[in-house]
A = this chain, B = another copy of it.
Amino acid sequence: MDYNLSHFGTQMSELTGVRAIMKDIIETLRQAGEREFINLSAGNPVIIPEVEKLWRDCTAELLASSEYGEVVCRYGSSQGYAPLIEAIVKDFNQRYGLNLSDRNILITPGSQALYFYAANAFGGYAEDGSLKEIVLPLSPEYTGYGGVSLFKEALRAYKPTLDIDENGHRFKYRPDFSQLAINEQTGCVILSRPCNPTGNVISDEELNKITELAKPAHVPVILDAAYSPPYPGLNFTEMTPQFGENLLHCLSLSKAGLPGERIGVAIGEPELIEVLESFQTNLCIHSPRYGQAIAARAIASGQLGHIAENVIRPHYQSKFAVLEETLDAYMPKTVPWFLHRGEGAIFSWLWLKDLPLSDWDLYQELKQQDVIVVPGSTFFPGLKEEWQHKHQCIRISLTATNEEIATAMQRLAKVVEKVYQGSAVGVG
């Protein structure tokens, strides 16, 4: 039977950004037959043995305790499982000299759900009918932000400035404060730091400038710290997590080995926490508790922080090093290629200036060489203006082996060389 959807139904049944591409990738892999693809599209973290062991050990402990029945066989509080909240309060107070209490914490079923609550509780239409924008101060950004607002027109991303090292073939995005507007028309600000897809870590000064801009209009800044220290600690450059006032600091344990369990954590003022908690109660009662119970143990014992720093971070940082070295060695010197500075996360981001074909066509060319990346144009949710740059980038996942990454980057270099040559011939 065909059903009539509401406006939201129509909108929420569209898959945005990278999720639309995923269908093509899955289809490609299904039809692969004998061909062996190097799949650098994945956002799914690898299973690191030490990390799996940590979660197995915590589960065995939980199973051996009388706590198990209370955790799994009972409903819990919407705010979250008390021992997890307590462990986070203690750990963050100690690490960062904060004065958090349990009133500053909310546990959500993954951090994507948290962005859904925040985007729609603060952004969208106000009681007086005015539109409150959800501002992304940097673009490209996490593709999932494209799906969380119930009002697509509320999402507004800003074009960044480009900090380019021409000779070194490196670049970095920076917020364009000459353009960025945060005011009475703003509902909330969202940004990721470190950034998926670029690996960018905006500076403390830049972040402070954003939160200061947002204060006069009482606008919350939702900081997506899914790759940030202390867990998963996927920063490859020094960075200081920021907290307080209108900044809502949002963790995820997905890159700390728990993506299957969906654990997000919001840390912020009680005024923010209470709004989001009620939204959660109405939407899904509470977050799953098994993941919360094992996370409580891993955080309280200090093991999660230790493994993040000593296992998870070095793992992905070494992948980035392989990628960087291979590109430096094999990419044609004459082509204006620029790798985004690898400051964190589990991806790298390559900009091919004046690329003679679209990012989508480049993706297809790479598939011909059995390499799968993600076309970059899917990572600009909310950017309303046209920008050629959007079609000149690709995202490369760091979740493969060293050998796969090196091989894939060599093939990429060849494809890029051919593509720019073809263009030069064509133009000449």
Residues of A within 8 A of B (CB): 1-10, 12-16, 19, 43-45, 47, 51-52, 55-56, 59-60, 63, 68-76, 109-110, 112-113, 116-117, 120-127, 132, 144, 147-148, 150, 187, 215, 218-220, 245-246, 254, 257-262, 269, 271-272, 274-275, 278-279, 281-291
Contact = CB atoms under 8 A, between A and B. Distances in A.
A8 B188 CA distance: 14
A61 to B, nearest CB: 11
A125 B269 CA distance: 33
B272 A110 contact: no
Contacts of A124: 6-9
15 contacts: A3-B220, A3-B246, A3-B272, A4-B122, A7-B126, A12-B278, A15-B278, A47-B70, A56-B63, A73-B260, A74-B259, A109-B284, A110-B284, A113-B283, A288-B288
Contacts of A122: 3-6, 9
B121 A6 contact: yes
Given A1-B269, A271-B2, A279 B9 contact: yes
A143 to B, nearest CB: 11
A55 to B, nearest CB: 6
Contacts of A271: 1-3
B258 A72 contact: yes
Given A281-B147, A291-B288, A72 B112 contact: no
> Which residue of A112, A147, A259, A284 has the most chain B CB atoms within 10 A of its CB atom?
A284
Given A9-B121, A19-B281, 18 more contacts: A1-B245, A2-B218, A3-B275, A4-B218, A7-B124, A8-B125, A8-B150, A9-B120, A9-B122, A13-B275, A13-B279, A47-B73, A71-B260, A113-B283, A120-B150, A148-B282, A261-B290, A262-B285
Contacts of A132: 4, 6
A157 B71 CA distance: 35
Nearest to A154: B6
The 9 closest A-B pairs by CB, nearest first: A9-B121, A147-B282, A260-B289, A288-B288, A113-B284, A13-B278, A12-B279, A6-B124, A75-B259
Contacts of A109: 109, 262, 284, 288
B126 A4 contact: yes
A62 B192 CA distance: 34
Oligomeric state, in copies: 2
Contacts of A282: 12, 15-16, 116, 144, 147-148
A3 B272 CA distance: 8
B74 A260 contact: yes
A47 to B, nearest CB: 5
Nearest to A256: B73
Contacts of A12: 117, 120-121, 278-279, 282-283
B112 A285 contact: yes
A126 B10 CA distance: 9
Contacts of A274: 13
A215 B1 CA distance: 9
Select the residue from A45, A187, A274, A278 with max chain B CB neighbours within 10 A: A278
Contacts of A13: 121, 274-275, 278-279
A374 B289 CA distance: 26
A1 B246 CA distance: 7
A274 B10 CA distance: 12
Nearest to A134: B6
A5 to B, nearest CB: 6
A72 B44 contact: no
A125 B73 contact: no
Contacts of A127: 7, 10
Contacts of A284: 109-110, 112-113, 116, 262
Contacts of A150: 8, 120, 150
A22 to B, nearest CB: 10
Contacts of A14: 278
A283 B116 contact: yes
B73 A259 contact: yes
